[in-house]
Chain A
Amino acid sequence: LAFDPTLAAIRYGTGLSPYHAPAGRVDDILIDLIAPDAMDRLHPIPGYDTIVPSLAAMHRGNRLLREARETPHEPAALAHNREIRVAANTARVNGHLALMARSLDSRYGLRERLASFWADHFTVKSRAFIQNHLVTPYVEDAIRPHITGRFQDMLKAVVLHPMMLTYLEQWRSTGPMSVLGLRLKRGLNENLARELLELHLLGVDGSYSQRDVRELAELLTGLVYHSRRGFYYDDRMAEPGAEKVLGVTFSHEASLRNILDALEVLAMHPETAAHLARKMAVHFVSPDPDAAMIAAMTQAYLDTGGNLLAMTAAMLQAPGAWIEEKTKVRLPMEFVTTSLRALGMTGAQAKSMQPRHYRRWVRAPLQVMGQPLQRPIGPDGWSEDAEDWIIPQAMAGRISWAMGAPAALLSGLPDPRDFARTALGDHVTPAVEFAAGAAESRREGIGVVLASAAFQRR
């Protein structure tokens, strides 16, 4: 089992491209990862603090409309509010297109794949229309800067982010014995504490108990945000007294520092390391990844104090990373971008896509294929199982996209026989090669290549 450039592009990148040659060795990929984030510069995406319209502007639009109801100002307020909502929707679409553009223009694509892997690990969903355009900025703020850094830093950025505080309801959670808890008779919400232990850190089989969940929930009290101020720590909500989580007792003084210390400790728990390593290997390689590879990844994480570049490198350097059989399938979002990349679409072309094309050929098909934009069912994110994705409806969605989208989105389709080579490289199968040439039209030839199992697996 050895490094294979084509496999590297398919399994660890954003697919083959007529413009970007695959990496020649693992080190090329790692050097590219260490280098400054070129795609962030080429296709910038605003963060939570810079996005327009801001959450505060959305709130303000709603408030002005409420106040203006039944007054002569109502039509103006309504028009203003509609304008903000249209702007928010445009911002959301632009964020999505910029992400696609990065996958199209990226040299090897591993950074983009890691960003979506970790964004899925720390899934947030919008809870209301006014937040719909803020999911991408959350990833930009809390996830992307840390995918080759320390896991602890990503964890802290996530836990203090308004989107996570809202999604898992931490901002409501009030220590029952805190100042506000006693005054307002409010109590704990364990949602974030539970998901941290179960999904984000130790994993569902981890050695924590309900008591640990409860203590962690008490420890996390005080994390809130305001639409204008952003995140802040409110000690009037913080539960007093020392909390003991997984056998470690944290300071008697409730404080933000204390919460951050706890996250550091939990991140370096050996079960967290093993859980993260396995999850990453399952995401990239196989539902049943090589044990030696997982062990090496776990060890790299622990040895480097939670360095995610080290864990990623350990995966790529393990022989188990290069098994030939492709048992994973491209998720619908990956399928769409890898297809367009193989067809030679550039990031600039993607970003100038007409809104109706975006709706017809990106947004709607993703839903039919089972991956509605930023709407996984729960906080555990998208399924890793090929069987959940390749079901009749989703397959019909993939096939009809493959048959229709290329001609609609690109001018001038390549010869299907050449395209089979571009899209699959030396992994092209005789069946795909034959089918590409046997199709009745260019459109269907391209469609059959894209719809093939060979192209959809990674």
Chain B
Amino acid sequence: MTMDRRHFLTSGAALGCSLAASPLLTPVAFAQAPTDNRLIVIILRGGMDGLDVFRPVGDPNYAALRPGLNAGNHLDLGGFWGLNPTLDPLMPLWRAGEFGAVHAVSTHYRNRRSHFDGQDILEAGVLNIDGGAGGWLNRLLTTLPGASAETAYAIGREQMAILAGQAAAQRWSPDAQLDISPQARRLLELVHHDDPLFRDASAQAIAIAEQLSMDAASEADDDTDMMATMMAPITARGGHVDLAEFAANRLRGETRIASFSINGWDTHQNQHQGLRGALRQLSDTILTLRAGLGPIWARTAVLCMTEFGRTAAENGTRGTDHGTGGAMIYAGGAMRGGQVAGRWPGLARSDLFNRRDLMPTADVRAISGWVMHDLLGTPRDVIENTVFPGLELGDNPRLIL
């Protein structure tokens, strides 16, 4: 290979062949896109205390179980339910029917209450997680007609076991920014030119990074006022907002399914403070998704699930310990919000699981299964046999409009 510096600098286009080979930049017919609807699954890692987020203030036993945790300043959701005040920015969505919860749910994980095992089981969606079954969103992907590697995205630094498995899915962390000069980009193409694996991966990485920065630039130019208004309730810039923006960016394109994590729910002490931080992240995330998706929000379902709920009673350090039943939060224009769905088991000691935790009355898998059924058209038998093998879906909670 002979090359000189000047020739190289003036003929960058000659090296563009590798970029053109990138599936991201190649015009592909999207007619095969599996669905027009969007599904976002957010894993709330650490065990969210559903009883403190959607508070059953109408339950006669609730106040006595948690004397120190909630000082009666909840947002009224119509009598029985009160919303944690930190979620105030989501009240407009509640009123618009775009935000709600299913209460007294859990995975099929019982008794052990370990974060790691609980998350493994939540994401695998099967009891025996040793068998290499992968994650349930990945199994869903294998059943979607016309799915491509762009159909699903695992986003963020956390490993998303929920999307691990046979079907190809993309992964991206907004931390993986590429802040390099155009010259360095062309040199990278050169040193990867003869190695297709490296050539394609770095071309895609560069393409994603460029597209993101172009989007950011055009949003700043065109819609400054609108974006500013829409983002107003978002309390702080942080990694979680980047994740949500990136998710929205992908979902505006070819992507149909996205999954990422929000951490910080393990509130053993001073739950009042700890939960506030996590809930702010959650509401920022939902609002960012809504703003970023624009008209697509109407075709979107966001499911937020956690590995387990927390003890019904508060502990000695103004917190709660690992429990069983909890809440699943949902949002999206495609969803029937403005309600707390589910069958409420009550908080009397005899109604609790192990006389300790909220008794689960529904399986998060069944609820997720029905959402996939109604949103993506996945047949019931496919959900019961492939996505969640061995699960009986039971009655449809009708969360999708």
Contacts and interface: CB of A to CB of B under 8 A. Distances in A.
Given A440-B184, A444-B183, A399 B178 contact: yes
Interface in B240-254: none
Contacts of A435: 187-188, 190-191
Nearest to A432: B191
A396 B178 contact: yes
B180 A399 contact: yes
A395 B114 contact: no
Contact of A400 (B161, B178, B192): B178
Contact of B172 (A69, A128, A375, A392): A392
Contacts of B199: 453
Nearest to B192: A453
B116 to A, nearest CB: 6
Given A127-B114, A364-B157, A431-B194, A399 B188 contact: yes
Interface string B169-211: 0111101111111011001101111110111011011101100
Interface stretch (A32-40, A106-114, A153-161, A383-391): A383-391
A438 B205 contact: no
Given A377-B159, A395-B201, A451 B178 contact: no
Interface in B66-80: none
Nearest to A190: B130
Given A392-B204, A395-B202, A403-B184, A438 B5 contact: yes
Nearest to B172: A393
Given A431-B193, A451-B188, A393 B171 contact: yes
* Best-surrounded residue of B164, B175, B204, B208 (most CB of chain A within 10 A): B175
Contact of A453 (B157, B161, B198): B198
Contacts of A432: 191
Interface residues of A, number: 50
Contacts of A20: none
A448 B176 contact: no
A457 B206 CA distance: 20
A368 B1 contact: no
Q: Is the interface of A mostly helix, strand, loop or mixed?
A: helix
B159 A448 contact: no
A128 B115 CA distance: 8
A320 B386 CA distance: 42
A395 B198 contact: yes
A395 B203 CA distance: 9
B317 interface: yes
Contacts of A437: 5
B203 to A, nearest CB: 8
A452 B188 CA distance: 7
B401 interface: no
B131 to A, nearest CB: 10
Contacts of B188: 399, 435, 448, 451-452
A395 B176 CA distance: 9
A79 B1 CA distance: 64
B31 interface: no
B159 A372 contact: yes
A69 B177 CA distance: 45
A70 B316 contact: yes
A364 B156 CA distance: 12
13 contacts: A364-B175, A368-B157, A375-B159, A392-B172, A395-B198, A431-B191, A438-B8, A440-B183, A444-B184, A449-B191, A451-B188, A453-B194, A454-B191
Closest 8 CB pairs of A and B: A396-B176, A453-B195, A452-B191, A396-B205, A453-B198, A392-B204, A395-B201, A69-B316
Interface of B: 1, 3, 5, 8-9, 114, 116, 130, 132, 157, 159, 161, 164, 170-173, 175-181, 183-184, 187-188, 190-195, 197-199, 201-202, 204-206, 208-209, 315-317
Given A396-B208, A439-B187, 18 more contacts: A74-B317, A125-B116, A368-B157, A372-B157, A378-B132, A393-B170, A395-B198, A395-B205, A396-B205, A399-B188, A435-B187, A438-B8, A438-B183, A439-B183, A440-B181, A448-B187, A453-B197, A457-B195
